[in-house]
Structure 1
């Protein structure tokens, strides 16, 4: 991944400062830092000739302190930062005003004897070189800090803009900004500065973006408009607008925000999705509203009127609706037969616990969505535990490209990484198909992924009667590869394979044909003990997830499964990347995404069968890299 001047890579360029307690003066050649400590309630940091950053020491288990760059403006906003109390887990950068002669930073709720005051540093650079063994090779991740939902996905002038929920001040959730990366091909991403920062209205929660081609909002033809939720205890959850005139690099917030508030004072009212409804020459906004989606319309993108709602009592129960999206797609490629797919991310409510993505197919008449299925029917877009907040790019023409967040709210804050947390799953192209007189949504990896293939190992066809070993999968695969298989079921009842390493850590992927299931088992995949710290949501204290999953040990150590049709032949694509396994069956008709944390890459395979043999007709392994 490329970086730009926003975040210069450096090694050892830090201007270290010796800090003691009380009123303390700290000197570099040009810069001076003074701590004015007023008990445990307030510390004022005075800086003359500021460097670009203060480097703040973080302890993940410490309580949050409030850190404010004091410019004297009404827009000054506290950031909640876990400053080190007794140990330093890592550093984050806190930007200082460029070209200023002085700067003042106020820190509340940090004891004067905390370790952070000894470790705080000034620097003109911040080292973002990767330090994590589990950072993916070819999946999008933040340079550092926390990331969750993809936001504001939009394509313009040859660039895919991926905005995302981002905390630049730690690798746990907090201080929601819209982070920003761009790509020309969906696989090589360039990190840019955060696009929309937390402000006095609150955190910048999820939302969507459009290209205003006809200057409807009045900010210029071709402006990018971002619709997002501002969230705070004081203001609740309200929908806001920002606009960009420089191809999405920077945004100006609409001076009359918010543009939409819940008329009934609803607490959970967020994640606006805006799209064009051509038959009526208008714009539609969908907002997640507790356990339903609410639909609004507008002619000018600023004034919104309520139309209808959908979802109460539909799909998995209990649940909380979040991050909506809705797209019109051809069924089975027939452009004369179209349906709408309403994507609804739910948390909690996943079949295996925590967060997941369900969808509904039906019709939309410009005012209301009518579902084809009965309320008790649940359709999942992915059958793993680590696929959530799936939303689609706007302005991509005939293509419908979705990007999921690859984690689960049950344990996302405690996975075994520190420099960063979370990645996006592979971008997926969506389409509708029919099966048994029902319409389903498929999700296939975008074809651009094939450009990552660096080395191919073609394995001749073979028959698996009991087991079949491949002792060397790919030399120097770095835990990043693709497996493409075509399988004939034969007489086997159980057929599959293990990916494993020399330490015996493994992931099992297999077909249970009598039960018509495709299974991925990560109970022995490597580091799994952190799953014991997972805490189910208060409305998910039932044991359903323990019985619907397989080999349940805790909310991480388990196996997930997808229902499949019993067929003679199967095509299976498997993508492994350091800390994840994604499988796609028959071109994306079934998808399953799960995190893994092996102590070393899986470099060996063992195929196995029970109840008869099966045939591997075609098997290609590809090393993947940027």
Structure 2
């Protein structure tokens, strides 16, 4: 049923002082260079993602980064309403990064941004000044950036005079009698702050681009925990006559899901969320026969924001079943950032029971610090530890592992202590009380640490890396990581593609399996869909010794063979320029494995749906689009393996010595595949091409 609505009374029409939707500042006075030539279209270069502003533009003094200063001052206006409402973000430094209300040249009200230490958030927050005692006074608004250095900038937007503190909040009470609350989204619409109140408590609160008319798509809020209860939906910033709230509907289905998983750009064998945005893989853990994939998730829009832990499970790493959100924010603006999960087999935390160990998640709370939460229902729901936060520091993204020789837990954390980027290690006996152990510099975000055998030897090495995947090998004693080659050792490149970021590997994989399985965020913008971004295909990691030292390799997990459909094979075929023995192969989902021997070719490889994957034997280089990697033949041949989906081509060369995941959206009408032989022939020692079946129901 469509919800009815009730509006808060509005005494007089609001007066917009400035909405900053033009491409210049108009009559506002500008000093310095910080504010640029005009309002910004959101996030500026090298800035964290800016959210919480209204419309398409805002004031943003990050124009030249945090090294510039300036002021922006409005023309005089008469105060005619009880309140002035506005949005502000950025630095929290009184008098230096702030918004001032000036009357008779004096500051009578002031408001800073929210951030004063590394990390933080570029979200603008709504504020209200009570100016009821200043009616008929002439005033000016002054936006100030007089600080250089970290958080030396201010963001501001949408200054309005109003007789309502809430700025036109619409609300509706309803009885929860369906599974989902379907919410209409229009991309680019003003972001509205929405909350759901049950039993007098705010149980959900987030920002959403609420559609006023025909939505681009629908997102949903799971009502299961509130079945049979009375609830109230509130939306800030809506004006009388708004259709935004009236379109919200309860239903037992997700509206618009008739073609779920069959959308034109839905990857068919990579995980994507049903609706909304995903980024980092989180909490990868194997438990009771299931591979759990938690992930950074905005359930209410297709851009970054509103961070929750989404959740999906699989029995085979191929076929994923999305489950309800696992960890919700503690409150608005205290988001659930990245982290990890472990199975506390020995019940060191006391969270579990005999024969039923708890899954314990460690995550960054943006409002509190590093937190832990436990699950006693197989990872479906989590309860926060009452002693949170367990670590306070400048940083985020805890990766927790069990260090067997010391019989203790290790937490690797991205750390910005002293303004330097690195990984800090903490230790604990019980997952609750943590002690600092050591720190290593030169890493940014999403740390990962694990041990691997070196193939074909009796050696083992520890691997340490952060979000970009570039890694060090070395030794680890449970407290200190010592790189091979000493403190000056250079990191090695892992991913040579254009979309790899923020990977994680699985904890608690059974010994009889023994693999180190990794899933990374595939940073691929997927346009005009009700979802955005993807996970890269699961890979098995290995260490191999080469002439250059120990190197990490990646291969698709063997379960890919479960998706094979129609297949073809070729052997001992010489291909001259212009020939194409695989011309009959047409498809958008492919697994290609080949051993190629340049036999005079200046370039060889494949062209898949218009995208060239080419090896240059003279340069010993493998290239796809603008990415390339060194590749040397083995016994005169190279081995290529390609996974082709609707929005990506993942390239593996010489059994994973080169890993090049590429985010690519090929032309919809081009499903052709051909062998590339340029400047001379190439010999195909072996070639197999498998059409792949979709993993979705």
Normalising to structure 1: TM-score of the pair?
0.79
Paired with 2:218 and 2:240, the residues of 1 have a C-alpha distance of 19
Match of 2:237 in 1: 109
CA contact (8 A) 1:77 1:199 kept: no
CA contact (8 A) 1:341 1:362 kept: yes
CA contact (8 A) 1:470 1:604 kept: no
Match of 1:64 in 2: 191
How do residues 134-145 of structure 1 correspond to structure 2 at under 5 angstroms? 134-145=265-276
Residues 621 and 443 of structure 1: CA distance in aligned 2, closer, same or farther (over 3 Å): same
CA contact (8 A) 2:446 2:502 kept: yes
Match of 2:520 in 1: 404
Paired with 2:548 and 2:426, the residues of 1 have a C-alpha distance of 32
Match of 1:275 in 2: 401
Structure 2 counterpart SS, 1:496: strand
Structure 2 counterpart SS, 1:357: coil
Following superposition, the deviation at residue 61 of structure 1 comes to 1.0
Match of 1:296 in 2: 426
Aligned-residue CA RMSD (Å): 2.4
Match of 2:447 in 1: 324
CA contact (8 A) 2:340 2:363 kept: yes
Q: Is 1:564–2:631 an aligned residue pair? A: yes
How do residues 229-308 of structure 1 correspond to structure 2 at under 5 angstroms? 229-232=364-367, 235=368, 238-262=369-393, 266=394, 269-290=395-416, 291-308=421-438
Structure 1 counterpart SS, 2:677: strand
Q: Is 1:369–2:504 an aligned residue pair? A: no
How do residues 72-221 of structure 1 correspond to structure 2 at under 5 angstroms? 72=199, 76-85=203-212, 88-96=215-223, 98-127=226-255, 128=257, 129-130=260-261, 132-200=263-331, 202-221=334-353
CA contact (8 A) 2:452 2:462 kept: yes
Paired with 1:394 and 1:616, the residues of 2 have a C-alpha distance of 40
Match of 2:605 in 1: 496
Following superposition, the deviation at residue 377 of structure 1 comes to 2.7
Structure 2 counterpart SS, 1:323: coil
Q: Is 1:310–2:378 an aligned residue pair? A: no
Paired with 1:601 and 1:219, the residues of 2 have a C-alpha distance of 54
Q: 2:564 aligns with which of 453, 457, 460?
A: 453
Following superposition, the deviation at residue 602 of structure 1 comes to 4.1
Deviations, residues 174-215 of structure 1 (Å, cap 9, x unaligned): 111111111111111111111111122711111111111111
Q: Is 1:589–2:657 an aligned residue pair? A: yes
Residues 253 and 101 of structure 1: CA distance in aligned 2, closer, same or farther (over 3 Å): closer
Deviations, residues 396-455 of structure 1 (Å, cap 9, x unaligned): 1321110011116xxx4xx31421112211111111111114111001111111111111
Deviations, residues 333-390 of structure 1 (Å, cap 9, x unaligned): 43x3111011211xxxxxxxxxx32111111122211112574734222111111111
Match of 1:342 in 2: 464
How do residues 511-590 of structure 1 correspond to structure 2 at under 5 angstroms? 511-521=615-625, 559-567=626-634, 568-590=636-658
Structure 1 counterpart SS, 2:343: strand
Deviations, residues 282-325 of structure 1 (Å, cap 9, x unaligned): 1110001142000001111101111111123xxxxxxx611111
Higher relative contact order by CA 8 Å / sep ≥ 6: 1 or 2? Answer: 1
How do residues 424-443 of structure 1 correspond to structure 2 at under 5 angstroms? 424-443=535-554
Match of 1:351 in 2: none
Following superposition, the deviation at residue 566 of structure 1 comes to 4.2
Paired with 1:303 and 1:39, the residues of 2 have a C-alpha distance of 42
Residues 247 and 601 of structure 1: CA distance in aligned 2, closer, same or farther (over 3 Å): farther
Paired with 1:518 and 1:593, the residues of 2 have a C-alpha distance of 13
Structure 2 counterpart SS, 1:362: strand
Deviations, residues 223-247 of structure 1 (Å, cap 9, x unaligned): 1101111114xx4xx1101111111
Following superposition, the deviation at residue 19 of structure 1 comes to 7.5
Following superposition, the deviation at residue 464 of structure 1 comes to 2.7
Paired with 1:116 and 1:583, the residues of 2 have a C-alpha distance of 45
Structure 1 counterpart SS, 2:346: coil
Match of 1:359 in 2: 471
Residues 461 and 304 of structure 1: CA distance in aligned 2, closer, same or farther (over 3 Å): same
Following superposition, the deviation at residue 394 of structure 1 comes to 0.3
Structure 1 counterpart SS, 2:562: helix
CA contact (8 A) 1:162 1:181 kept: yes
Match of 2:31 in 1: none
CA contact (8 A) 2:577 2:679 kept: no
Structure 2 counterpart SS, 1:143: coil
Structure 2 counterpart SS, 1:450: helix
Deviations, residues 537-578 of structure 1 (Å, cap 9, x unaligned): xxxxxxxxxxxxxxxxxxxxxx21111124411111111011
CA contact (8 A) 1:145 1:166 kept: yes
CA contact (8 A) 2:7 2:168 kept: no
User: Structure 2: which 5+ residue stretches go unaligned?
Assistant: 10-163
Following superposition, the deviation at residue 71 of structure 1 comes to 2.2
How do residues 21-32 of structure 1 correspond to structure 2 at under 5 angstroms? none
Residues 466 and 474 of structure 1: CA distance in aligned 2, closer, same or farther (over 3 Å): closer
Paired with 1:84 and 1:487, the residues of 2 have a C-alpha distance of 53
Normalising to structure 2: TM-score of the pair?
0.71
Residues 297 and 598 of structure 1: CA distance in aligned 2, closer, same or farther (over 3 Å): same
Paired with 1:326 and 1:584, the residues of 2 have a C-alpha distance of 23
